[in-house]
Structure 1
Amino acid sequence: MSGPFDQPALAVLVEGSRTYRDRAAAAGIRLGVLGSGQRPRVMLIACSDARLVPSLITASRPGEVLELRTHGGVIPRFEPEPHAGEALTIEYAVSTLEFTDIVVLGHSHCEVVDVDVADRIADGTEPTTWSTGDFTAAGHAHVLRQLDILSDYACIAPRLADETLRLHGWYHELETGSTLSYRPHASAFLPL
């Protein structure tokens, strides 16, 4: 008779969950402290793509980074009411946890970006042939669009003005493991 956890993919997750306490202890993570509340200083907004693992990329530990994962890393435009779940998370991070930094992390081979490009090609608004560099540029532009949307949030704009909050645009290349950061002075994404 088979049990509910006999599926290979789920079995890996079950085993990882069963060994978490031991792995956390080996890594010096004090689980008891995590129960007393969170005080991360950085929020990271990223795509929900399973190939992108922000905590692995940044080597962050439990409690250090608040992650918001959405389809394509898309941030909804600010609306005074009603707030979407993403907007509530952003407000909580900025107003309650008083973050000093928010990173928007895009990535190569993002389905949202690729579909957007394909739609523009089908509409005839873009050339019919694109190179890898063109898709990379589209991914970079997507990150910058999300930063623009984020900067319009009512809780963010004043913090940007008084320089108590910084926004960062990063782009991770899945195939190389490299992460680039947008540098406004160079108008380019450059290695971290």
Structure 2
Amino acid sequence: MQDIEKFIRGFSRFQEQYLKEPTALDSLRQGQHPRTLVIGCCDARVDPALLTGCDPGDIFVVRNIANLVPPCAPDAPPGVSSAIEFAVCGLEVARIIVLGHARCGGIRALMSGARISEEAEQTGFVARWMRLAEPVRRDVLRELHHKHADEQCRAAELASILHSLDNLLTYPWVRRRVEAGTLAMHGWYFDLAAGTLLAYSARKQEFLPILDPVAVNVPHAA
């Protein structure tokens, strides 16, 4: 029950901050007009709104395991594809951010072939979903076969962001807007260990810190 009590206290703070001011409440009632679509991971440690300090209505968020984007195809998983379609064609967002992160369980499962549980094997939903990133796994294992598994996973986490950005361009209405200059796309990576946020630079072809990292206190073993 402690979690439920925490949620209730949290909603009370939400009421105080957003619902008691008439202007804030009116804005929320009139509909949503976000300028940014964020495609993030389901990981409980990586909440896009918390990471970026956003208020309700600021961002349209799609979250799935490993922040993957399926390519545009008749048999594409409709949940993610329909959300992208609504954000781009309906809300006319100005930018899309694919937000990946360090120590992603989905990517680690992809790279190691680890099972979630015997019970989950009966349905295999996670394994089937992660097949979207199979090209990433193959490329990383081919190019970094001599590296430690942790390095391979980090490389796959970063590469999967770029893979999702490439898949976004298979949607005709995304590509048209990108080519017209009315839609920008960004790849971001939250490094949990270093406490920093990286952005992909197409010019330098690497992920670079958006801000200087802050000091992170890591407890040492006794």
Q: Is this a same-fold pair by TM over 0.5?
A: yes
Q: Report Cα offsets for 1:129-177 as digits up to 9, x if no partner.
A: 6154433222110111111111111220111111111110000012232
- Which stretches in structure 1 are left out of the alignment for 5+ residues? 1-6
Question: Residue 74 of structure 1 corresponds to which residue in structure 2?
Answer: 68
Instruction: Please give the alpha-carbon distance, in whole angstroms, between the structure 2 residues aligned to 1:154 and 1:29.
Output: 38
| Identity %, equivalent residues | 30
Question: Residue 18 of structure 2 corresponds to which residue in structure 1?
Answer: 24
- Give the AA of the match of 2:56: P
TM-score by length of 2: 0.75
Instruction: Please give the alpha-carbon distance, in whole angstroms, between the structure 2 residues aligned to 1:29 and 1:189.
Output: 39
Structure 2 matches for 1:37-116, cutoff 5 A? 37-80=31-74, 84-116=78-110
- Give the AA of the match of 2:173: C
1:180 aligns with 2:181: no
Q: Count how many residue pairs are aligned between Structure 1 and Structure 2.
A: 184
Closer, same or farther: CA 27–171 of 1 in aligned 2, 3 Å: farther
Match of 1:169 among 187, 206, 212: 187
Instruction: Please give the alpha-carbon distance, in whole angstroms, between the structure 2 residues aligned to 1:109 and 1:153.
Output: 29
- Which stretches in structure 2 are left out of the alignment for 5+ residues? 114-136, 211-222
TM-score by length of 1: 0.85
SS of aligned partner of 1:67:
strand
Closer, same or farther: CA 19–117 of 1 in aligned 2, 3 Å: same
1:191 aligns with 2:209: yes
Contact 2:107/2:156, CA 8 A, preserved across alignment: yes
Instruction: Please give the alpha-carbon distance, in whole angstroms, between the structure 1 residues aligned to 2:19 and 2:195.
Output: 27
Instruction: Please give the alpha-carbon distance, in whole angstroms, between the structure 1 residues aligned to 2:3 and 2:11.
Output: 13
Instruction: Please give the alpha-carbon distance, in whole angstroms, between the structure 2 residues aligned to 1:191 and 1:55.
Output: 19
Closer, same or farther: CA 45–153 of 1 in aligned 2, 3 Å: same
